[in-house]
């Protein structure tokens, strides 16, 4: 597919229309900036549904140097590569450490429940090789939507979870975690995540995205509040990597045409971007989503105002 066919010229600049990926249905965007390139990892909603539910077998990668011209790297990891998993190739995130790339992926185990798998590669665009066993396996359904970040002191954190936000301290090898500390449960308080409609009584639902900017830690996530039954995006901040968290506000309101949304945030070449998903491609539905992007700015104190969905993105 010609990934660049949706580029138009607007105000004398190249402009890519949303959804930015149009050849297949994609969701759960996870950007990673490496060198002068932004790599975007996504899930893949199959056209044909099984049991009228999420039908997702593989992970995809796209890359760009200017936000409008994108290279499609195709399938970079799939359930076929994970002998112990059989379904639900859900929201991933990738990170580089010491020249290797680690792709953290929720999957359904053959013996039941959700767990977090890790694929390893020498290249950002894969292919990735499974480490052979789950990294996080609590034998429950909470172990989804991993988000990974390496702090300035070298400590790596993997947050994840629905309905509870939990984390582990990753070891330097990035494929194991500090078992003495174990799996830590973040207190699900209204101060941290606002009062809301999800199972903990807070608005936090799923899809955490963890990062640090100008010394402040951010947790962006999909949230439920107000009885709409649709996810909006919200954020919380902390002065420490492990909290306590303070609720920051709504990042993006819910009307995306589908019940889920999923954030991926990054800075790239002096611009700040929020990736999200909607049902805006033709044939779009709850199980046929598509990845979009919007540029935004931080206020001087690090807070973020609610970001409106837009019809596309300017070239850098
Ligand atoms: O795409 C499957 C699941 O839906 C993800 O893991 C959640 O974040 C939601 O987007």
Q: Is 194 in the pocket of ligand 1 (CB under 6 A)?
A: no
pTM for the whole structure: 0.97
Cβ of 275 closer than 6 Å to ligand 1, yes or no, is no
pLDDT in tens, 149-200: 999 999 999 999 999 999 999 999 999 999 999 999 999 999 999 999 999 9
What's the 70 CA to ligand 1 centre distance in angstroms?
23
The rounded distance, in Å, linking the Cα atoms of 104 and 143 is 11
What is the gyration radius of the CA atoms in the chain, in angstroms? 18
Residue 46 pLDDT more than 70?
A: yes
Which residue's alpha carbon is nearest to atom 2 within ligand 1? 90
Q: How far apart (Å, rounded) are the C-alpha atoms in residues 105 and 126? A: 14
- Of all atoms in ligand 1, which is nearest to the CA of residue 261? 10
Concatenated DSSP letters of 232-292: EEEEEEESSTT---EEEEEEE-S-SSSS----EEEEETTEEEEEEEES-STT-BTTB-EEE
Identify whether the C-beta of residue 128 lies closer than 8 Å to the C-beta of residue 76: yes
pLDDT digits (tens, 9 = 90+) for 50-73: 999 999 999 999 999 999 999 999
Query: Residue 303 and residue 299: Cα distance in Å, rounded?
Result: 5
SS3 for 197-214, per residue? CCCCCECEEEEEEEEEEC
Distance from residue 131's CA to the centre of ligand 1 (Å): 23
Q: Are 265 and 274 in contact (CB under 8 A)?
A: yes
Amino acid 3: pLDDT: 56
Cβ(62)–Cβ(73) below 8 Å: yes
What pLDDT band is residue 257 in, cutting at 50, 70 and 90?
confident
Would you say residue 32 has pLDDT above 50? Answer: yes
Cβ–ligand 1 distance for 77 under 6 Å, the answer no
């Amino acid at each position: 597919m010609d990934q660049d066919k949706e580029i138009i010229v607007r105000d004398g600049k190249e402009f890519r229309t949303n959804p930015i990926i149009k050849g297949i249905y994609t969701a759960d965007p996870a950007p990673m900036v490496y060198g002068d390139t932004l790599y975007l990892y996504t899930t893949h909603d199959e056209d044909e549904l099984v049991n009228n539910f999420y039908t997702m077998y593989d992970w995809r990668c796209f890359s760009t140097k200017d936000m409008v011209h994108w290279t499609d790297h195709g399938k970079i990891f799939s359930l076929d590569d994970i002998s112990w998993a059989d379904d639900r190739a859900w929201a991933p995130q990738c990170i580089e450490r010491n020249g290797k790339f680690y792709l953290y992926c929720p999957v359904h185990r053959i013996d039941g429940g959700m767990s977090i798998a890790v694929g390893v590669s020498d290249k950002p665009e894969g292919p990735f090789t499974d480490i052979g066993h789950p990294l996080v396996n609590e034998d429950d359904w909470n172990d989804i939507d991993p988000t990974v970040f390496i702090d300035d002191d070298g400590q790596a954190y993997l947050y994840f979870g629905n309905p509870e936000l939990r984390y582990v301290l990753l070891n330097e090898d990035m494929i194991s975690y500090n078992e003495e500390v174990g799996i830590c449960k973040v207190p699900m308080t209204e101060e941290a995540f606002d009062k809301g409609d999800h199972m903990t009584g807070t608005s936090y639902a799923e899809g955490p995205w963890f990062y640090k900017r100008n010394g402040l830690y951010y947790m962006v996530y999909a949230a439920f509040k107000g009885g709409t039954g649709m996810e909006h995006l919200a954020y919380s901040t902390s002065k420490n990597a492990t909290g306590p968290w303070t609720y920051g506000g709504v990042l993006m309101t819910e009307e995306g045409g589908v019940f889920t949304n999923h954030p991926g945030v990054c800075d790239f070449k002096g611009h700040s971007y929020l990736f999200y998903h909607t049902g805006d491609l033709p044939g779009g539905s709850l199980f046929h989503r598509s990845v979009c992007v919007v540029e935004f700015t931080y206020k001087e104190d690090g807070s973020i105002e609610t970001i409106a969905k837009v019809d596309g993105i300017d070239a850098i």
